[in-house]
């Protein structure tokens, strides 16, 4: 009660929620984790965030930061913590079109950032399915990826500066707009991807990029994953690295999409095992200005490349979007992944990455290992193939903990053998703690624990996440 009174004195009673008023924060997107906060606080300024953390730190009370709550790893799970929502820190503080940067609060929704950039013919190229509800604070805290990593990089690569409040309430001002700064350790990179275990990100300076003047988007069927990667390299060479997305949707994924999504259509008249969505973004006028016959050069270039590869058998089929409606249909097929992969009962969901040349061999090895555990297992895969990030979901024939655990370790074994990572873009949260304990370099874990202890000695910041005890 004393803590509640202190929080209300700082924030006002309307922004300190208990009981039924916390219902909105009691379930994450997956619905798989317990969220039972003692109180939800909604500070409206960085100073108020700092005051909340000072109160919590003095009382040694756990604090779980929360943004849009769209994560997949249980990073906001808690029982009796203070959940600190950044949803009121949702302002665009500044847009500098000449410097191509934007300064925002951590609670701004990703699609609002896109709209603000679009007003200046610029883009913020962090794109994923939950962009209508995910907030930039959460994207920074997990170092989110998405579909445009191939050209622009992860969230860490799209951020110039951040503001962070530490566990004891001190504010670290890293709100630099500089592209170069070698003045000591890169604390910005340390805080991005820490999932709220080291502090609360309250604001950020983001990089903006030229808005493509035209897109060339296509669905392409190829014989093998290796052929797909050769297609990527050829088009990258032809366009000067302008490929923005290169998404892999194999036959089982297409089948599930048709089954689950109303009015969904297959990408081709025939069914193929390896289906790729490719998108090229043209920023130069010469690539985007329609020719006398109405053809857009970047689209014509993609059509010509695919036609040549079709002639020699490296492409089996292709459909190039001729208008925005067709382009959006292709994107909708890919962005339905979360909806169609998590609605089919018990599953083993992994978010892995391997070197590009090893994607095909790794996937084949995973299938072999899983079938040795459960011959009737069913797999559905979707991947950001251009950067080697695979979302592999397996559905065992029996919902038995021992089988599920064995499947997780089988995937881990393959990833380790191929020099990959068991966490590519979704973070670690709570769901991958055992994997961290098993697979992360022990010395690296010791360093992480030392940093956590130094920055948050009382251990109040999102305890039980990311770093295994």
**36 has a pLDDT exceeding 80:** yes
The pLDDT value given to residue 126: 97
CA distance 6 to 118: 42
Which of 107, 360, 320 minimizes the C-alpha distance to 228?
360
| Host domain of residue 312 | 214-337
Q: Is residue 362 part of a domain?
A: yes
Residue 443 maps to a domain: no
Residue range 50-92, pLDDT digits in tens = 999 999 999 999 999 999 999 989 999 999 999 999 999 999 9
- Assign 120 a pLDDT band (cuts: 50, 70, 90): very high
Q: Which of 210, 228, 247 represents a domain boundary (last residue)?
A: 210
Residue 46 sits in a domain whose CATH number is 3.30.43.10
Is position 459 within any domain? no
Residue 326 and residue 219 in one domain: yes
φ, ψ dihedrals at 119, nearest 5°: -60, -20
Could you report the per-residue pLDDT of 146-178, keeping only the tens digit for each? Answer: 999 999 999 999 999 999 999 999 999 999 999
For residue 100, the model assigns a pLDDT of 98
Q: How confident is the model at residue 346 (pLDDT cuts 50, 70, 90)?
A: confident
Residues facing 371 on adjacent strands: none
Examine the fold and report which residue of 306, 337, 368 is the final residue of a domain before the chain moves on: 337
Q: Does 450 reside within a domain?
A: no
Mean pLDDT of the chain: 96
Would you say residue 344 has pLDDT above 70? no
Average pLDDT over residues 16-30: 94
Asked if the structure places residue 250 within a domain, the reply is: yes
Buried-exposed string 243-279: b where 16+ CB fall within 10 A, e elsewhere: bbbbbbbbeebbebbeeeeeebeebbeeebebbbbbb
Statement: the pTM of the whole predicted model exceeds 0.85: yes
Same domain, 8 and 34: yes
Q: Say whether pLDDT at 437 is over 70.
A: yes
Residue 440 resides in a domain: no
Residue with tokens 């300190």: 16
What is the model's pLDDT at position 23?
95
**Residue 244 shares a structural domain with residue 201:** no
| 30, pLDDT greater than 90 | no
Residue 380 to residue 366: CA distance in whole angstroms:
12
Please tell me the total count of domains within the chain: 4
Examine the pLDDT at 339 and tell me if it is beyond 90: no
Tell me, yes or no, whether 332 and 247 share the same domain. Answer: yes
Asked if 99 and 197 sit in the same domain, the reply is yes
| Residue 429: per-residue pLDDT | 97
The pLDDT of residue 259: 93
Residue with tokens 């350790």: 185
332 and 349 inside one domain: no
* pLDDT at position 43 over 90: yes
Q: Output the domain CATH number for residue 409.
A: 3.30.70.2740
Sequence-ordered list of residues with C-beta below 8 angstroms from that of 115, at least 6 positions apart, any chain = none
Residue 202 sits in the same domain as residue 128: yes
Same domain, 355 and 394: yes
Q: Which of 422, 443, 421, 456 is nearest to 191 (CA)?
A: 456
Q: Which two tokens stand for residue 238?
A: 């032809």
Pick the range with the lowest mean pLDDT from 128-142, 200-214, 335-349, 435-449: 335-349
Assess if residue 431 is contained within a domain: no
* Average confidence (pLDDT) over 97-103: 98
- pLDDT at residue 221, rounded to an integer: 98
What pLDDT is recorded for position 29?
83
Q: Last residue of some domain: 85, 120, 135?
A: 85
Q: Are residues 222 and 326 in the same domain?
A: yes
Residue 329's CATH number: 3.30.70.2190
Q: Is the pLDDT score of 351 beyond 90?
A: yes
- pLDDT tens-digit profile of 377-398? 999 999 999 999 999 999 999 9
* In a domain? residue 219: yes
Rg (CA), the chain: 23
pLDDT value of residue 228: 97
Q: Are residues 312 and 235 in the same domain?
A: yes
Instruction: Specify whether 220 is located in the same domain as 329.
Output: yes
Under the banding of pLDDT at 50, 70 and 90, the label for residue 206 is very high
Q: Are residues 181 and 229 in the same domain?
A: no
CATH number at residue 99: 3.30.465.10
């Amino acid at each position: 009660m004393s803590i509640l009174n202190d929080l209300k004195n700082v924030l006002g009673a309307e922004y300190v929620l208990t009981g039924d008023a916390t219902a909105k924060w009691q379930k994450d997107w997956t619905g798989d984790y317990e969220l039972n906060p003692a109180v939800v606080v909604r500070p409206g300024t960085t100073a108020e965030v700092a005051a909340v953390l000072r109160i919590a730190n003095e009382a040694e009370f756990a604090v779980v930061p929360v943004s849009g709550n769209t994560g997949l790893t249980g990073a906001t799970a808690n029982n009796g913590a203070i959940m600190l929502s950044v949803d009121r820190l949702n302002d665009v503080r500044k847009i500098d079109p000449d410097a191509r940067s934007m300064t925002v609060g951590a609670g701004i929704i990703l699609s609002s950032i896109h709209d603000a950039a679009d007003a200046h013919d610029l883009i913020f190229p962090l794109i994923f399915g939950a962009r209508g509800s995910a907030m930039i604070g959460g994207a920074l805290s997990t170092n989110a990826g998405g579909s445009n990593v191939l050209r622009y990089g992860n969230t860490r690569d799209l951020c110039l500066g951040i503001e962070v409040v530490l566990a004891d309430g001190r504010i670290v001002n890293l709100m630099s707009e500089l592209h170069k700064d070698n003045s000591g350790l890169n604390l910005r990179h340390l805080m991005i991807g820490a999932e709220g275990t080291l502090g609360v990100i309250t604001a950020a300076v983001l990089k903006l990029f030229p808005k493509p003047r035209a897109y060339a988007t296509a669905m392409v069927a190829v014989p093998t994953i290796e052929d797909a990667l050769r297609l990527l390299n050829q088009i990258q060479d032809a366009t000067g690295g302008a490929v923005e997305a290169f998404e892999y949707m194999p036959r089982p994924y297409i089948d599930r999409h048709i089954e689950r999504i109303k009015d969904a259509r297959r990408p081709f008249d025939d069914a193929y095992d390896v289906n790729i969505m490719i998108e090229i973004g043209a920023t130069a006028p010469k690539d985007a200005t329609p020719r006398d016959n109405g053809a857009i050069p970047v689209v014509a270039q993609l059509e010509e490349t695919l036609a040549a590869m079709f002639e020699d058998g490296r492409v089996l089929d292709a459909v190039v979007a001729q208008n925005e409606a067709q382009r959006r249909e292709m994107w909708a097929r890919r962005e339905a992944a979360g909806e169609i992969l998590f609605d089919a009962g018990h599953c083993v969901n992994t978010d892995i990455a391997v070197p590009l040349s090893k994607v095909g061999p790794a996937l084949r090895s995973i299938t072999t290992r899983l079938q040795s555990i459960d011959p009737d297992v069913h797999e559905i895969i979707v991947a950001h193939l251009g950067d080697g990030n695979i979302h592999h979901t397996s559905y065992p024939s029996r919902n038995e903990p021992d089988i599920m655990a064995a499947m997780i370790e089988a995937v881990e074994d393959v990833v380790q053998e191929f020099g990959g990572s068991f966490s590519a873009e979704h973070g670690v949260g709570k769901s991958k703690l055992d994997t961290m304990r098993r697979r992360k370099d022990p010395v690296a874990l010791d360093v992480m624990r030392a940093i956590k202890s130094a920055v948050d000695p009382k251990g109040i910041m999102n305890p039980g996440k990311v770093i295994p005890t």
